[in-house]
Structure 1
């Protein structure tokens, strides 16, 4: 693991906050903002839950591709620092009904359902006793060699992994008709229920694109919550159909970026620099 002492970590986070304070662009996000999230400055919950967002665990030269060795470095850090993975059901029971969570809960998510989630990420997560939630593009499962098969999905499900919908075809729901969007939402949910034998309760927005109308469609399609790519932690003031996550990208210093994004979120929320 990359050697970062507690003092170095604090300096990194403080330096990041200083730079963000100087920049007026901090409050913007990479997703479409629905407009219902309240300003949490001075009212942040210390019990907010970090939700990590990954895509691919492989050696491709792409910002969404985290090399397996670096992914294990991150998972090892979480294990060594007392984090416990939770499921979306646990998260929503906590947010809606205040049901207890482990002392340091974390939800690990993957979007799209790439084959490397099974071949590379799955063994690493099992090694450390962790689970994850994977949002599937159902038309690609078992039909595209770059993606998992339903047998692989079912194997991971038996091991405690959870699965949600990422639509039928990875369509950006804000760019298609209401009828098409409802088909993407409902048909993917039905396919998952047929293949996995359980109701698909959770959804992640393809490309991160959503608005209030799309949120309402997700709710009408029968989902209990939906996940965005907006940076932040999920808390009691979060919109359940616009839950924040911490996207993890590849970089020249991937672990340092991971460390900062994971540990800076509570401080940035406290200072009102995100979720505005």
Structure 2
């Protein structure tokens, strides 16, 4: 570590431990909603963590340390409290924070849920509803991400999808790959992925995504549920955006949900997808704009509530562990809209 980095870390630590950062946060963000976005939580050293897309995965220990930080500096709220504030039927506490998970990974139930329960914290899972119907251990989306990350197999996958060789240099190409695959029947999409990489679908032996029993554990323990599209296609790029939304809504209704919420798959949205969600009866929709929402502005942000993706990486860790001072400077100064 360089001398300048050491000095910066020392300054961060002094500011945090002295309480200066915490007090500044309490004053600045007392009327701003922070929404955190998580994906996976897995034990350190596990095969599953090693195989995961690390940008979107937390170690179990790191997740616990992050929740301790959250409990220290925020009032953690539920979806119902956020919706009440949007509808003008309730007030949020000072420095409110909502914890969310995307996709429907089984480790959310196995590893994240016990940590939340231990601390009495509410949370919201945004489910790509199709995963309940899929039978193969590895989720096709995870396999596609792995194939795209491999310089040998990525061109083969693009070719199999009829995309030009230079597609990987275009903005949003991975989301367009996801949309193409999501629009196929499960057997066809797996065939296309296997054509690019014969081994990637079989690299995971245990089921990755939740089933109905897993989901029942989540809701029976009082945690909230929302939608993340049906197939996990970016709605704006989907071959049939309306079907993506109505299928998701039908599955959520079948699960007994009355108040419908959703997070945009891949964070991709446009005016047309927003209007379709309104028509379908979704009441609160979250995007991936990494900022805070002024509580007074939440009614206007009903279909664009911002969320912050929280990684376990150099921005938030020191010496390989979640560092409260770095977390504070990652979260507290975010723009407020």
* TM range, smaller chain: 0.7 to 0.9
Which ranges in structure 2 are unaligned for 5 or more consecutive residues?
Answer: 1-8, 22-27, 43-48, 136-206
Q: Is 1:49 paired with 2:9? A: no
Q: Is 1:162 paired with 2:224? A: yes
Q: Secondary structure at the match of 2:32?
A: coil
Q: Is 1:198 paired with 2:206? A: no
Structure 1 pair 77–184 and aligned structure 2 pair: CA distance change class (3 A): same
Question: In structure 2, what is the Cα distance between the partners aligned to 1:96 and 1:170?
Answer: 28
- Using the TM superposition, give the Cα deviation of residue 99 of structure 1 relative to its aligned residue in structure 2, in angstroms: 1.2
1:142–1:150 CA contact under 8 A, matched in 2: no
Q: Secondary structure at the match of 1:261?
A: helix
Residue of structure 2 in register with 1:259 after alignment: 328
Q: Is 1:245 paired with 2:284? A: no
Residue of structure 2 in register with 1:102 after alignment: 93
Structure 1 pair 6–97 and aligned structure 2 pair: CA distance change class (3 A): farther
Task: Output aligned runs, 1:89-168, within 5 Å.
Answer: 89-97=80-88, 99-141=90-132, 143-144=134-135, 145-168=207-230
- Using the TM superposition, give the Cα deviation of residue 220 of structure 1 relative to its aligned residue in structure 2, in angstroms: 0.7
1:108-162, Cα deviation, whole Å (9 max, x unpaired): 0001010110111001010101121000011112535211112221221122211
- Using the TM superposition, give the Cα deviation of residue 94 of structure 1 relative to its aligned residue in structure 2, in angstroms: 1.1
Q: Across the two proteins, how many residue pairs are aligned to each other? A: 233
Structure with bigger RCO (C-alpha 8 Å, 6+ apart): 1
Task: Output aligned runs, 1:155-234, within 5 Å.
Answer: 155-177=217-239, 180-194=240-254, 196-234=255-293
1:189–1:199 CA contact under 8 A, matched in 2: no
- Using the TM superposition, give the Cα deviation of residue 12 of structure 1 relative to its aligned residue in structure 2, in angstroms: 11
Structure 1 pair 142–57 and aligned structure 2 pair: CA distance change class (3 A): farther
Which of 15, 18, 22 is 1:7 aligned to?
A: 15
Which ranges in structure 1 are unaligned for 5 or more consecutive residues?
Answer: 14-43, 270-274
- Using the TM superposition, give the Cα deviation of residue 261 of structure 1 relative to its aligned residue in structure 2, in angstroms: 2.6
User: Which stretch shows the higher mean deviation, 128-137 or 94-103?
Assistant: 94-103
1:112–1:137 CA contact under 8 A, matched in 2: yes
Q: Quick check: which has more Rg, 1 or 2?
A: 2
Question: In structure 2, what is the Cα distance between the partners aligned to 1:52 and 1:242?
Answer: 14
- Using the TM superposition, give the Cα deviation of residue 11 of structure 1 relative to its aligned residue in structure 2, in angstroms: 11
Which protein has the bigger helix share?
2
2:109–2:217 CA contact under 8 A, matched in 1: no
2:104–2:128 CA contact under 8 A, matched in 1: yes
